[in-house]
Amino acid sequence: MDPTLFLVTSTLVIVTLILFITKKCSNLLSLPPGKYGWPIYGETHEYISRPEKFMRERMTKYSSKIFKTSVLGEKVAILCGPSGHKFLFSNDGKLFEFWMPPSLALALSVRDIDNNSWSSKLVQEQLHKFLKLESMQHLVAIMDSKAAHLFDTFWAPYEQVKVQPLAKDFTFTLTCCLFINYSSQEQVKEVAKPFFELHEDTMSKSVSLPFYSAKKRQEAVKNKIISIIKERQIEVKNREKEDDDGLFHDLLTRVLKASHESGMIIDHKVIAGKINSLLFASFYTISTAVTFIVYYLADHPHVYDKVLQEHLEIARSKKAGELLNWKDIQKMKYSWNVACETMRLRPPALGSFREVLADFTYAGFRVPKGWKVAWNAYSSHKDPEYFPNPEEFEPSRFEGNNNPIPPYAFVPFGGGPLMCGGKEYARIEILVFLHSLVTRFKFWKVNPLEEIIYTPIATPVEGLPIRLEKIK
């Protein structure tokens, strides 16, 4: 036999054997420890309604690195702790792709969105510009002005209020203003009614709202947003000759302006789907965060006093009627520590799912293609290895002086390529809310023992009623 042919043939045989043996050995590896729970429904209820307990018990019983379960009819491997988070985030787009429950995907109009379409790419391009640091700085004064109006209108006239519904109104109003330029309360209510009917039901019913009901409500939200798009297109066309470079543009106007200038026709359904998803993403997480900031400040007067002093110093440095600016936000360091500690104890987003694109091994266990993987903030946020005295509310732990928090241990915004792009937006809105709150009121819980439930979002069962006392 020709020596070259023999060498090539031998090499191919050896490589084939190695691949065969490797695959065989991989298949012999065990699946992660755990259980699937009930048929079809699995452990969905436990995972959604008691997430902290769910994670703690299974990490103790099965493995602190990885365990299996079944959620919403899917076999899921949950990767735990900073190492698990790092592995998952680092392999987004390689081993994993983003996945969400079908009913939630329907509610968020994901099925209407072709991410490769020109319309979808246009929204992503304009969103990226909108969320750039330079653009974010211009939003501070707009948020502050809006916040002052909302607090003076819906908080100041009362001695007692419920924080959670007001936090939702606050964040949704700012979101409508900045994303679709709906500023008046009448305009916001037009969008809020179908939006809340869809998403409140979808979230509260364990993301399993019946298909017909979800589809009908999703159509109502989509049609409302499409009507806004069509109205705004006419406005953009009528103002094409005006010099408005110095004006603030909401996200939707930016998209439609770019489309008009390019001469390309946009797909209304795709744009509406994207806007719906963005309204949802920016609304629930921020409203939950600010609700629980109030919750913990009411429990810790000494922390409230430090936050108040920080904001009074900023207020005293400004002229009467002067709005907050970017430099003021940068001075709110302790306030952001308070927000971070709140998000550690009550993560606004518990985690998310991915679909497995190819078999992989992790921590000595095999996870097959087609399974789902998930990360959950509670796998590290309450771990005493990373957060000493994890049940204590200690904002100073985020100062990072003596015991810096390890990478991937604190993940309120996720990580990797799919990390929340609105992190800075959320930070500004949270801090603006806090400034308006503490410079106006002292407050106390009406029911210090109010129960917290998960729906799956952390929710005070009574809406967190507080008593207000105006600061003179």
Q: How are strands ordered across the β-sheet holding 74-79?
A: 66-71, 74-79, 372-376, 351-356, 96-99
What Rg do the C-alpha atoms of the chain give, in angstroms?
A: 25
pLDDT in tens, the chain (472 residues): 555 554 555 556 555 555 554 454 445 579 999 999 998 889 999 999 999 999 999 999 999 999 999 998 899 999 999 999 999 999 999 999 999 888 777 777 776 677 788 998 999 999 999 998 888 899 999 999 999 999 999 999 999 999 999 999 999 999 999 999 998 888 999 888 888 877 776 665 544 445 556 677 778 888 899 999 999 999 888 887 665 655 568 999 999 999 988 888 889 998 998 898 888 888 889 999 999 999 999 999 999 999 999 999 999 999 998 999 999 999 999 999 999 999 999 999 899 999 999 999 999 999 999 999 999 999 999 999 999 999 999 999 999 777 789 999 999 999 999 998 899 999 999 999 999 999 999 999 999 999 999 988 899 999 999 999 999 7
Query: Which helix (H) or strand (E) is 295 found in, with range?
Result: helix 268-299
Cis peptide bond upstream of 456, omega within 30: yes
Q: Where are the domains of the chain?
A: 103-347+398-470
Beta carbons within 10 angstroms of residue 269's beta carbon: 18
Number of C-beta neighbours around residue 12 at 10 A: 10
Annotated binding-site members for heme? 420
Using a CB cutoff of 8 Å and minimum separation of 24, what contacts does 461-464 make? 462/162, 463/162, 463/163, 463/164, 463/165, 464/162, 464/163, 464/164, 464/291, 464/294, 464/295
Known binding site: residues? 420
Q: What is the pLDDT of residue 211?
A: 53
In eight-state DSSP terms, residue 444 is: E
Question: What is 103-347+398-470's CATH number, 3.40.1410.10, 3.90.1150.110, 3.30.450.20, 1.10.630.10?
Answer: 1.10.630.10
